[in-house]
Structure 1
Amino acid sequence: MRRTDRAALLPVALERSSDKPMHRQLYDQLREMILSGRLVGGERLPSTRTLAKDLAVSRNTVAAAFDQLLAEGYLEGKVGAGSFVSGELPEEALATKGKIVDRDGATPRRRGLSKRGQRLASLRQPRGRRSPAFSVGMPDVADFPFDVWSRLMSKAWRRPPIDLLANAEPAGYLPLREAIAGYLRTARAVRCDAEQVIIVSGAQQAIGLAAHVLLDDGDPVLVEEPGYPGVRGALMAAGAELIPVPVDDEGFDVDAGERMAPEARLACVAPSHQFPLSVTMTLARRLKLLEWASRGDGWVIEDDYDSEYRYGGRPLAALQGLDRDGRVVYVGSFSKVMFPSLRLGYLVVPPDLTEPFRAARAALDDHPSTIAQPALATFIEEGFFAAHLRRTRKLYSQRQEKLLSVLQARVGHLLDVAPSEAGMHVMARFRPELAARMTDVEAVERARDKGLSLSCLSSYYAASNGHQGLLLGYAAVPEEQMAEAVDRLARVLEA
């Protein structure tokens, strides 16, 4: 096999009509790339022969520039390997590196964010490396049938048709949309066909697309309080004014929302499994919400979060299935039921909105990636998806039971934990003794040092109101590791 030069491509342009020698021009441009950080320490440069060929100059010209950079400490040579950017640059480079300079060479003043940018940035929660214990929303990827998945991916891309490579539909791969529509009709009682399904990169993009189509800048939107920051971010990025509406034991309080923002025409809710409180919206509240939307020519975005994992009680149909007036935009995702990096979700829109939504999808993002869509379509059609859901539903139910048992025995005096009928996490509220000693934010920070990934309840409220608690994800924690993980948590809380 012919050996190729795998070094970086350098955007160098030499002016042959310039009075400055070409080796000096090359030196200046390479030095500027190093000082500005465009070439980083340890990065390999092309060989003098390759670069001379690229620039149509003599090899001696390139060698002269390299020799000067080597002599000044910007480059270092490795025998048999070539020339590399130095890991330790000269003092002059260290003084300049990383600064943003204007055309006069002066460092400009710090640039400010827009008000929307500041609000969006404030929603970002600190997150480093996620640990299985007790990361919220993290599935057990070790249990996923990757042998099947890799076979389906390989089959789809062994000889892909041209339409899959270059003529993607804005709404997504039709066989996948057909498979999703069939699954939703059966499993979630969603009234839809493939034409109403639009593929996106996840629930947040789905909510953002719906907001762009249905809202103008400054329009008020009713959102759950507490609620998921990703939902709020997607709506805020579309220019919405968020109206936090309290969630109680019956779910989203429709009457309170009407009182708080009578002019609102859009509500975004998770009726089947609210995050983070895990409550389910009652039928009476669901019907009242649909009546509110119909009466005021409004809309409801239904985020069907974690609906696949329900362990107790009767299966719940989607809110969209109760809608007879075409007021609900249904949102779902495969991130939690398969694996997060899959980045595939979907909307189901009312029939008369399919064309506006497709046009908006194309305008904002042209079309979704088709890399995984054919494999996912087959994964659903051939029953692998349903089998995976059955297996993980049983597995996660057992893990929740184990976690509740261990928590009660080890930290029951500090945390009040109730079982959850659905989802992949339980909520643990602070008992007075613990609340007097630390906040949930402090608990999360201390737990991070112990290798635990917790989420604090207070961070999901738009306004500070004294709610203190922890969200404990259990789906990715094997039962045999549960006791040790809870013991680490206990040491954090008892400190």
Structure 2
Amino acid sequence: MSDHSRSRWDRSLPRRINLHVPLAGARDLSGQIHRRIRQAILDGLLEHGQLLPSTRDLAGQLCVSRTTVGTAYDRLLAEGLVKGRVGVGTFVTASPARRSRTAPPPSPLRPARLWATLPTSRGPAGTDVRFDLRPARPDPWQFPFATWRSELSRHTNADTLRSADGPGGVGGPAALRSALARHLGVVHGIDAEAEDVVVTTGSRQAVELAARVLLEPGDLVAVEEPGHRDVAALFTSLGLRVVPVPADGDGLVADAIPPGVRCVYTRPARHFPLGLTMSDGHRRALLDWAARAGGVIVEDGHDGEFRHVGRPLDPLRALDPSGRVLYVGSLSRLLRPDVRVGYLVAPAPLHDALHKARRVLDPSPPTPVQLAAAAFVRDGQLSRHVRRMRAVYAQRRERMIGAATRRLGEHVVVHPAPAGLDVPALFRDPRLDDVEVARRAATAGVSVAAISDLTLTGRYRGLLLGFGALPADRVDEAVTLLRLAVETP
């Protein structure tokens, strides 16, 4: 048989499994092996058609004779649980329904008290999601798969994999850091060198790195209220004390930051979840606070690229004259959630500590992914994709605002957020339970977020209507189902 024919033959066979068969003592070894495998088949752990290890391999693994394993296999064969094929091996032939297994004894372990105080995250309810209205989600099917696959293939080889352990790997590949620094300068007016950029596995890790390097347990961190509950939970899990600061129609109110606050986390480009854009005056007031109080600002550039109304405002990092702003960004938010590449832009005095912290937490995204991202940004593919998707999302936004106003207007006030991939629809009747409405919507196949579930205090109630992952021609049907969920008693 030729090597080519053999490889095709091998691929047509089920893969052998690595079977764990614990043995107790030295008595009745064949019986122990038989009972362990038999029980695994009856419990459904070994399924019909699976190829068991050869008698030679299992004997070597268990340090017993081949005859001992062969005797166990013969008993399984006699019971009709397995079948042998000459030249191939021994297969499982039984297909029993998975039986309920004996519950293990209760564990005495309990989480630390902190985790009982944090909010419980609710994922998208229901399994049959026909309409994805979750917030801040780009359309995964608009992703340029062919280009990305080509770049991944080009950078998945021995040389690039060896480079993961090379110099400069802790902050991310130099190619990606340079490409991101150049992109930030051109698109956002942020003056940064490659050395200022630390590549992360997403924006959340970037925020965590900033907090770990800058703050001590017990320090005060200010966040917008309403604001992102999960980010506040992250700070709390690090032993920091979270202080809500009100946001008005122009964004976070700097004059309301209480004394003693060391750090402010904010999303000036697009407030979450109400969609506000921080005005130029509020931005400069916040920078004045940082200079006056000796504080630091962690600026999350969330959704800054997808601005639909008016001219984009300068990021705080671009306006910062004193080096007190750290900028957080993410390619996942622009491309696909599973790309998992984010970054943090920080001043030189923090570089060494950030590299140490990232090494402790998580070295980096996979090297081929980082290098593919570098080429994607450097060659202009990212900018072209964002320009194209900005037009697509603008159309979907208008469709969502129109449909929500027409079909839900008597129940909600729609706030046409000028940027981002979702629009908030606040309930007119504060007695409406937005979590229950979202649950009813999920049973109808619509995945949508309840605003009270996303904020610190739950004071605002409504639905955050994501349009990024929903084609424009499906918006009306989705909103019609939402209306039924709202009006169902």
Interval of TM-score (by shorter of Structure 1 and Structure 2): 0.7 to 0.9
Q: Is the 8 A contact 1:456 1:470 kept in 2?
A: yes
- Give 3-state SS (helix, strand or coil) of 1:265's partner: strand
Aligned to 2:393: 396
Matched, 1:442 2:436: yes
Matched, 1:273 2:270: yes
Which of 466, 469, 472 is the matching residue for 1:473? 466
Matches within 5 A, 1:263-342: 263-342=260-339
Q: Give 1:425 shift.
A: 0.3
User: Cα 1:238–1:397, aligned 2, differ >3 Å: closer, same or farther?
Assistant: same
User: Cα 1:257–1:10, aligned 2, differ >3 Å: closer, same or farther?
Assistant: same
Structure 2 regions of 5+ residues with no counterpart? 1-5
Aligned to 2:82: 77
Aligned to 1:178: 178
User: Cα 1:219–1:399, aligned 2, differ >3 Å: closer, same or farther?
Assistant: same
Q: Is the 8 A contact 2:404 2:479 kept in 1?
A: yes
CA distance in 2, matches of 1:441, 1:489: 13
Matched, 1:22 2:10: no
User: Cα 1:444–1:198, aligned 2, differ >3 Å: closer, same or farther?
Assistant: same
Q: Give 1:246 shift.
A: 1.9
Aligned to 2:58: 51
User: Cα 1:164–1:292, aligned 2, differ >3 Å: closer, same or farther?
Assistant: same
Matched, 1:119 2:117: yes
- Give 3-state SS (helix, strand or coil) of 2:132's partner: coil
Matched, 1:9 2:8: no
Q: Kindly provide the CA deviation profile for residues 171-218 of structure 1, in whole angstroms up to 9, marking residues without a partner as x.
A: 111101000000001111112110010000101111111111112222
Q: Is the 8 A contact 1:251 1:274 kept in 2?
A: yes
Q: Is the 8 A contact 2:267 2:301 kept in 1?
A: yes
Name the count of aligned residue pairs: 471
TM-score with structure 2 setting the length? 0.88
Return the letter of the residue paired with 1:332.
Answer: G
Q: Give 1:95 shift.
A: 5.5
Return the letter of the residue paired with 2:362.
Answer: D
CA distance in 1, matches of 2:314, 2:407: 37
Matched, 1:134 2:128: no
Q: Kindly provide the CA deviation profile for residues 458-483 of structure 1, in whole angstroms up to 9, marking residues without a partner as x.
A: 11222243x22100011222222222
| Between 151-160 and 472-481, the greater mean CA deviation after superposition | 151-160
Matches within 5 A, 1:124-273: 124-128=121-125, 129=127, 132-158=131-157, 160-161=159-160, 163-167=162-166, 169-258=169-258, 262-273=259-270
Q: Is the 8 A contact 1:333 1:345 kept in 2?
A: yes
Q: Give 1:23 shift.
A: 2.0
Structure 1 regions of 5+ residues with no counterpart? 100-106
CA distance in 2, matches of 1:230, 1:305: 14
Return the letter of the residue paired with 1:76.
Answer: L
Q: Is the 8 A contact 1:170 1:368 kept in 2?
A: no
User: Cα 1:468–1:89, aligned 2, differ >3 Å: closer, same or farther?
Assistant: closer
Q: Is the 8 A contact 1:224 1:247 kept in 2?
A: yes
Which of 446, 456, 467 is the matching residue for 1:462? 456
RMSD of equivalent CA atoms: 2.8
User: Cα 1:366–1:480, aligned 2, differ >3 Å: closer, same or farther?
Assistant: closer
Matched, 1:363 2:370: no
Q: Give 1:165 shift.
A: 4.5
Q: Is the 8 A contact 1:45 1:85 kept in 2?
A: no
Matched, 1:485 2:478: yes
Q: Give 1:88 shift.
A: 4.2
User: Cα 1:56–1:145, aligned 2, differ >3 Å: closer, same or farther?
Assistant: same
- State, as a whole percentage, how many aligned pairs show the same letter: 35
Q: Is the 8 A contact 2:44 2:98 kept in 1?
A: no
Q: Is the 8 A contact 1:312 1:421 kept in 2?
A: yes
Which of 413, 417, 427 is the matching residue for 2:414? 417
Return the letter of the residue paired with 1:116.
Answer: L
Aligned to 1:381: 378
| Between 163-172 and 354-363, the greater mean CA deviation after superposition | 163-172
CA distance in 1, matches of 2:46, 2:282: 57
Q: Kindly provide the CA deviation profile for residues 8-65 of structure 1, in whole angstroms up to 9, marking residues without a partner as x.
A: 22345668xx542432453576579789x99566665324343234445433311333
CA distance in 2, matches of 1:266, 1:358: 20
User: Cα 1:464–1:382, aligned 2, differ >3 Å: closer, same or farther?
Assistant: closer
CA distance in 2, matches of 1:397, 1:386: 16
CA distance in 2, matches of 1:112, 1:471: 34
